[in-house]
């Protein structure tokens, strides 16, 4: 692709709805350096402000040289450049995963402080292909094999990936034509990392036609299939599911009549919506849950409990998952509930009702919820003394509000599209 074709590809992804200013995440590597140059050529003639951020993970030598390359290009383009530093690696767990999570957290905060709604990322067709092959090796299903989203909402920031149809080789050629220097991360040659090993394997598959663009196309096809399944799950949920005080109620008869994949997706969505997780349960865990449901057994998964009551299957927060969670009145409890009330005593805390609080509510059945669901709902405590159970209507001025609700539960089924 020549420069004009690359610029046109960027314009097709970004226009006509660009805001007055955008952010670009740039590491100094070839992909993000090409992105920065191309975005500047699209945005600056239109008067759109571009701000640049880099994240220094502090994990290896040579980073300062890479950051200097970014700063030099920003100076040439007359763009502001900000560096965020991460110092959170303790040496345990998945290094690449921890670094990725930290990178997004730091960029989130930077964007918020800079008043940015959109941040651009430099993922390419090669990244799509590598991710597809890694997940294929793990036996992933439709969701796992789906392409990265061109746009992803995270808090108040929309992350946009305008290079997903462009290969790494095409971007390197652009950089060479325009005399832009970039850095190659030495970790990209470290085959201890699964992605690096897969990248090398893909070079052996190219003569067979399994190129980055071909595999990225497969990922896009799988994404379209996923969107169709999401839509069918949404339609099924409207017939089968309801939300009551943060718990999900499923009509057992209608639920059992659903195709296995649709019922699986509905369960995954209910669990994620309740526990607030970023990633779905592993397929083996959901398969075990489906088997328990088929046998009419209560089961748990990822901090949620699933139990039968009458003609309904209920999905709600498991008490053990919130037993030790405490927060002040007014703060978000379990990332879902906000308690407000007439007292502003700093000694008051929000915690789960548990058996002690529920024992003082012989009328708990009036809420039409399984007992287990109520055990994990919030109450107001002063030490070991119960002050209020705000989920009940007669809570003496106390109220409990759960984030989202009936409509939000259904909307979330389609939000990742």
Q: Which of 16-25, 183-192, 354-363 has the lowest mean pLDDT?
A: 183-192
Residue 228 resides in a domain: no
197 & 251 share domain = no
Q: What is the mean pLDDT of the chain?
A: 92
φ and ψ at 307, to 5 degrees?
A: -145, 155
Residue 65 resides in a domain: yes
214 & 249 share domain = no
Q: Is 28 annotated as a binding residue?
A: yes
Q: Which tens digit of pLDDT belongs to each residue from 164-220?
A: 999 999 999 999 999 999 998 766 666 667 778 888 888 888 999 999 999 999 999
- The burial of 186, by beta-carbon neighbours within 10 Å (0-12 exposed, 13-18 middle, 19 or more buried), is given as exposed
User: Residue 80's domain is classified under what CATH number?
Assistant: 3.40.50.620
How many angstroms separate the CA atoms of 199 and 331, rounded? Answer: 45
Q: What is the pLDDT of residue 189?
A: 63
Residue 238 resides in a domain: no
Q: What is the pLDDT of residue 54?
A: 97
302 & 158 share domain = no
412 & 322 share domain = yes
Q: Is 27 annotated as a binding residue?
A: yes
Range of the domain at 29: 3-218
Q: What is the pLDDT of residue 60?
A: 72
How many angstroms separate the CA atoms of 1 and 163, rounded? Answer: 13
Please check the confidence at residue 35 and state whether its pLDDT lies above 90: yes
Q: Which tens digit of pLDDT belongs to each residue from 38-78?
A: 999 999 999 999 999 999 987 777 789 999 999 999 999 99
Total number of domains in the chain: 2
Q: What is the pLDDT of residue 187?
A: 63
Residue 40 resides in a domain: yes
Element (H, E) at 317: strand 312-317
Residue 239 resides in a domain: no
Compute the average pLDDT of residues 327-353: 93
Q: Is 155 annotated as a binding residue?
A: no
Q: What is the pLDDT of residue 289?
A: 97
Q: What is the pLDDT of residue 100?
A: 84
Using the 3D structure, point to which of 173, 199, 218 is the last residue of a domain.
218
211 & 284 share domain = no
Residue 253 resides in a domain: yes
Q: Is 29 annotated as a binding residue?
A: yes
Q: What is the pLDDT of residue 406?
A: 84
φ and ψ at 319, to 5 degrees?
A: -55, -40
Compute the average pLDDT of residues 123-151: 92
Angle between helices 260-275 and 212-240 (to 10 degrees): 80
Q: What is the pLDDT of residue 142?
A: 93
């Amino acid at each position: 692709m020549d420069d004009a074709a690359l610029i046109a590809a960027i314009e097709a992804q970004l226009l006509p709805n660009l805001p007055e200013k955008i952010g670009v995440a740039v590491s100094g590597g070839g992909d993000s350096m090409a992105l920065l140059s191309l975005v500047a050529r699209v945005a600056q003639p239109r008067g759109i402000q571009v701000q640049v951020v880099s994240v220094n993970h502090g994990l290896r030598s040579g980073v300062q040289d890479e950051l200097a390359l970014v700063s030099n290009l920003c100076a040439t383009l007359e763009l502001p450049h900000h560096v965020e530093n991460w110092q959170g690696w303790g040496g345990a767990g998945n290094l690449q995963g921890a670094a990725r999570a930290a990178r997004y957290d730091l960029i989130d905060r930077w964007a918020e402080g800079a008043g940015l709604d959109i941040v651009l990322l430099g993922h390419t067709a090669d990244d799509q292909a590598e991710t597809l092959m890694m997940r294929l090796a793990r036996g992933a299903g439709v969701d796992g094999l789906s392409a990265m989203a061109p746009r992803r909402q995270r808090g108040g920031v929309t992350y946009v990936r305008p290079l997903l149809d462009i290969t790494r080789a095409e971007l390197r050629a652009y950089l060479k034509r325009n005399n832009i220097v970039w850095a190659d991360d030495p970790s990209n040659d470290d085959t201890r990392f699964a992605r690096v090993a897969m990248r090398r394997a893909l070079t052996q598959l190219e003569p067979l036609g399994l190129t980055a663009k071909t595999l990225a196309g497969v990922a896009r096809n799988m994404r379209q299939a996923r969107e169709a399944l999401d839509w069918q799950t949404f339609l099924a949920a409207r017939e089968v599911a309801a939300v009551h005080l943060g718990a999900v109620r499923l009509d057992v008869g209608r639920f059992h009549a659903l195709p296995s994949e649709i019922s699986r997706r509905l369960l995954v969505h209910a669990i994620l919506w309740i526990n607030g997780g970023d990633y779905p349960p592993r397929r083996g865990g959901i398969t075990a849950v489906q088997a328990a449901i088929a046998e009419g057994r209560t089961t748990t998964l990822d901090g949620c409990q699933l139990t039968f009551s009458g003609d309904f299957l209920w999905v709600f927060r498991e008490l053990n998952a919130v037993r030790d969670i405490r927060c002040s009145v007014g703060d978000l409890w379990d990332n879902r509930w906000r308690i407000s009330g007439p007292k502003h005593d700093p000694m008051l805390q929000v915690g789960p009702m548990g058996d002690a609080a529920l024992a003082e509510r012989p009328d708990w059945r009036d809420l039409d919820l399984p007992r287990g669901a109520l055990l994990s709902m919030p109450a107001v405590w002063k030490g070991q003394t119960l002050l209020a159970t705000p989920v009940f209507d007669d809570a003496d001025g106390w109220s409990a509000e759960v984030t989202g609700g009936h409509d939000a539960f259904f909307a979330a089924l389609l939000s990742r599209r």
